[in-house]
Amino acid sequence: MSETSTPTTRNESEKPTIIEIRNFDFAYGDSQALFDINMDIKEKEVTAFIGPSGCGKSTFLRCFNRMNDLIDIAKIKGGEIKISDVNIYDKDVDVIELRKHVGMVFQKSNPFPKSIYDNIAYGLRIQGVKKKSALDEVVEECLRGAALWDEVKDRLNESALGMSGGQQQRLCIARALAVKPKILLMDEPCSALDPIATAKVEELIHQLKKEYTIVIVTHNMQQAARVSDKTAFFYIGKLIEFSKTDDIFMNPKDPQTEAYISGRFG
């Protein structure tokens, strides 16, 4: 996978911005978690967030589909996040529509205790799609999209919990694809996986990049280097450095970034 660590830079300037973050401040109760973050995330690129534990990168990711709404004390202090030029924290934004647009894959793979088929079909069923043929089509499409079809096509009606950890995580990705999002958020998707399963997920990320904008949080710097086009380094709630992955890893501008990626802390 070494050839993929060099992101395609030639048409980078042509890619439009899909997520635009301006002066974003975020707090849990009285303790501020994110300070004044500015960032442009380009369409159909992989953007990686790295940083030590507790630096706010997961919190930041969960702001993109307003998952933080579930936490009572979470509060936006200032600034805005625009997705496709719409401020997603506007009052007239329907969170449900937003989440259909911005899919998410969690750190701990969380397939529902249902069959593989039902897991994929879930996103459509809750939208009221009942037609078997339509569901069949989407299930196959998504499983193929997540490179899982050949492994599970004979046991679609078996419980998703009988799959291996890596398969479960790819199932969660497939499930997220079923609602046809534009953006896919991944919160440390490989942290519980072995190297082979991780390689498969990374491979999948490369394929998905053609159609989806992907934002991935990772603890693993090699992974960031392997899969991402851009990398953002966070430290104690602040965005320290954000640029092309090559630049960050080859010649970081900030001394803190350099210290982190060279393994001196974190």
Two tokens at 84?
């496709």
Asked if 89 is part of the footprint of another protein (rule: CB under 8 A), the reply reads no
Least CB distance to another protein at residue 146 (A)? 14
- Which stretch, 6-14, 38-46, 65-73, 222-230, contacts another protein (CB under 8 A)? 65-73
Of 147-166, which residues contact another protein (CB under 8 A)?
159, 161
Q: CA–CA distance from 127 to each of 8, 130, 198 (Å)?
A: 37, 9, 32
Residue 178 binding another protein, by CB under 8 A: yes
10 close to 189: Cβ distance less than 8 angstroms:
no
Tokens of 103: 């899919």
Around Cβ 11, how many Cβ atoms within 10 Å? 7
Q: How far does the chain reach from its first CA to its final CA, in angstroms?
A: 26
Q: Which is nearer to another protein, 34 or 121 (CB)?
A: 121
Beta carbons within 10 angstroms of residue 131's beta carbon: 9
Q: Is position 75 an interface residue for another protein (rule: CB under 8 A)?
A: no
Please report whether residue 189 would count as binding another protein according to CB under 8 A: no
- What is the C-alpha separation between 224 and 232, in angstroms, rounded? 10
Query: Using CB under 8 A, which residues numbered 114 to 143 contact another protein?
Result: 114, 122-123, 126-127
Q: Cβ 138 to another protein, closest distance in Å?
A: 13
Q: Is 197 in the site for another protein (CB under 8 A)?
A: no
Quote the longest CA-to-CA distance of the chain. 57
- Residue 97 as a binder of another protein (CB under 8 A): the answer is yes
User: Is the CB of residue 51 less than 8 Å from the CB of residue 61?
Assistant: no
User: Judged by CB under 8 A, which of 1, 96, 134, 250 binds another protein?
Assistant: 96
CA distance 110 to 224: 23
Q: With binding defined as CB under 8 A, does residue 182 bind another protein?
A: no
Residues that bind another protein (CB under 8 A): 65, 67, 70, 72, 96-97, 99-100, 103-104, 106, 108, 110-114, 122-123, 126-127, 159, 161, 172, 175-176, 178-179
